Amino acid sequence: MNKQNAATSHRQKNTEKSHRIVSTGVYYRVFFGLMVLLILTVAVAFVDAGPWGSAIALTIAIAKALLIMLFFMHVWYSSHLTQVFAAAALFWLGVLFVLALSDYLTRGNQWTTAM
Amino acid sequence: MTTHLEHHFDNLEQQHEAATLGMWVFLATEVLLFGGFFLGYAVYRMAYPQAFADATHHLALPEALPWYLKSIFLGTVNTAILLCSSLMVALAVHAAQEGKNRGVVRFLVAAIVLGVLFLFIKGLEYYLKYEEHLVPGLTFSYEGANPLVAQIFFSFYFVGTGLHALHMLIGIGVLAVIAWMSARQHFSAEYYTPVEMAGIYWHFVDVVWVFLFPLFYLMGLHR
């Protein structure tokens, strides 16, 4: 009985969470953050950051993508199951990259000499 | 209100949750579609770091063109336009949650106008690349070192941005249908799932561009 109640309240919490209306202030702040990151990444691209240039550009891109996913796409406010589904997409993307690059990055430069 | 509830769901909450999960399963397939493209790009970029950096510079900062026609300017403006359109869509979903159909229509029309503007600027960029003979397969001519690798870079550029533009076209169509449904008072504070799902799709297309932008416009700009 107690267990059932706990399960019900958990479900209610989840559905309440998924239907929470996000205030427009959150959207405006996220948008402001995205524009600041855009200006930052373009400015950094003109500066000589050596080998760090690409790492900075990609880190800023990931930060922008996370802001959009969590707040504009409501992942932050979604049920745990939806969050698992969203994370699964990124997990499989990670599998694709790790397995493929563990091959290409350990071949030396043999495969590039053809070009 | 209950007319929107399909018979195989217990209630609107459950129906909304199922729609959200279905949307994310679809987006997972989209992530892997674009993921394959980004992986190919990463493999070639790591194999030819210098040639790819040179080609990025060639793409973003063509010396022959005035500043307002250089791709770095057009691409930055386009990124800002897409981010604005995403804000409009987020505000449209908010209006839908409050049951304000007129607000939904207004914000969605703004997002559609921004999306069309993005595609117009993208088209202008394609035209300029064509004029500069940078379209692989069509009289490709490139003064930098390693034109063969540059041709691979520009192939990635046209395939990646082209696939993204195709998604934009579909997204604009989806937003137009949702705007039309809103104008006909189809949604309410109790039922706005299609508005939210269309929004999630539009934001996803925005996320793809957020990664395309540094890969083709920024990485290699400084020399």
Kindly provide the ipTM of the predicted complex, given to two decimals.
0.92
Percent helix / strand / coil, chain A, rounded to 5: 80, 0, 20
Q: Which residue has the higher pLDDT, B50 or B1?
A: B50
A-chain CB neighbours of B56 within 8 Å are none
d(CA A64, CA A35): 9
**CA-based nearest distance A81→chain B, Å:** 8
What's the rounded mean pLDDT across residues B122-126? Answer: 96
* pTM for the full predicted model: 0.90
**Cβ atoms of B209 and B86 closer than 8 Å:** no
- B6 — pLDDT class (breaks 50, 70, 90): confident
pLDDT at residue number A1: 42
What pLDDT score does A106 carry?
86
Residue B1 confidence (pLDDT): 47
Q: Which of B138, B115, B123, B38 is nearest to A96 (CA)?
A: B38
Please determine, for residue B102, whether its predicted confidence score (pLDDT) is greater than 50: yes
CB atoms A97 and B42 under 8 Å: yes
**B residues 54-113 lying closer than 8 A (beta carbon) to A:** 72, 76, 79-80, 83-84, 86-87, 89-91, 94, 97-98
Distance CA B75, CA B83 (A): 12
**Per-residue pLDDT reduced to its tens digit, A14-56:** 444 445 788 999 999 999 999 999 999 999 999 887 788 889 9
Please indicate whether, in this complex, the C-beta atoms of A27 and B196 are within 8 angstroms of each other: no
- Within 8 A of A92 by CB-CB distance, chain B residues are 28, 31-32, 35
What pLDDT is recorded for position A14? 47
CA distance A55 to A47: 13
Predicted pLDDT at A13? 47
Structure tokens at B73: 């300017």
- Is residue B183 within 8 Å of A10, Cβ to Cβ? no
Inter-chain residue contact B87 with A31, CB threshold 8 Å:
yes
Shortest distance between the Cα of A98 and any Cα of chain B, in A, equals 10
| pLDDT for position B142 | 86
Residues B161-184: pLDDT tens digits? 999 999 999 999 999 999 999 999
Confidence of residue A110 (pLDDT cuts 50, 70, 90): low
Question: Given an 8 Å threshold on Cβ–Cβ distance, is A35 in contact with B80?
Answer: yes
Res. B3: pLDDT tops 80: no
pLDDT the model gives residue B221: 85
Residue A64: list chain B partners with CB under 8 A: 210
Per CB-CB distance under 8 Å, the chain B contacts of A54 are 219
Whose tokens are 């959207």? That residue is A27
Average confidence score pLDDT of chain B: 93
Tens digits of residue pLDDT in B33-84:
999 999 999 999 998 989 999 999 999 988 888 999 999 999 999 999 999 9
A113 — pLDDT class (breaks 50, 70, 90):
low
Q: What is the pLDDT of residue A16?
A: 47
Q: What is the rounded average pLDDT of the residues A50-69? A: 93
Write the secondary structure of B64-100 as one string of H (helix), E (strand) and C (coil). CCCHHHCHHHHHHHHHHHHHHHHHHHHHHHHHHHCCC
Query: Does the structure show a pLDDT above 70 at A114?
Result: no
Q: B208 or B15: whose pLDDT is higher?
A: B208
CA distance A63 to A71: 12
Q: How confident is the model at residue B143 (pLDDT cuts 50, 70, 90)?
A: confident
**Token pair recorded at residue B49:** 């770091």
CB contact under 8 A, A61 and B76: no
Q: What angle do the packed helices B49-60 and B147-183 form, to 10 degrees?
A: 50
The pLDDT of residue B220 is 86
Q: Is A105 a residue whose pLDDT tops 60?
A: yes
Length of chain A: 115
Which of B61-68's residues contact partners 24+ apart within 8 Å by CB, and which partners?
B61/B221, B62/B128, B62/B132, B64/B132, B65/B128
How many residues appear in chain B?
A: 223
- CA-CA distances (angstroms) from residue A103 to A94, A100, B152? 14, 5, 21
Decide if A61 and B214 are in contact by the 8 Å CB cutoff. Answer: yes
User: Residue A109's pLDDT is what?
Assistant: 64
Chain A nearest-CA distance from B180, in A, is 22
Q: CB contact, 8 Å: B214 with chain A?
A: yes
* Cβ distance of A22 and B199 shorter than 8 Å: no
- Give me the pLDDT at residue B8, please: 86
The C-alpha angle B57, B67, B78, rounded to 5 degrees, equals 75
B21 is written with which tokens? 């999960």
Q: Is A57 close to B214, i.e. CB distance below 8 A? A: yes
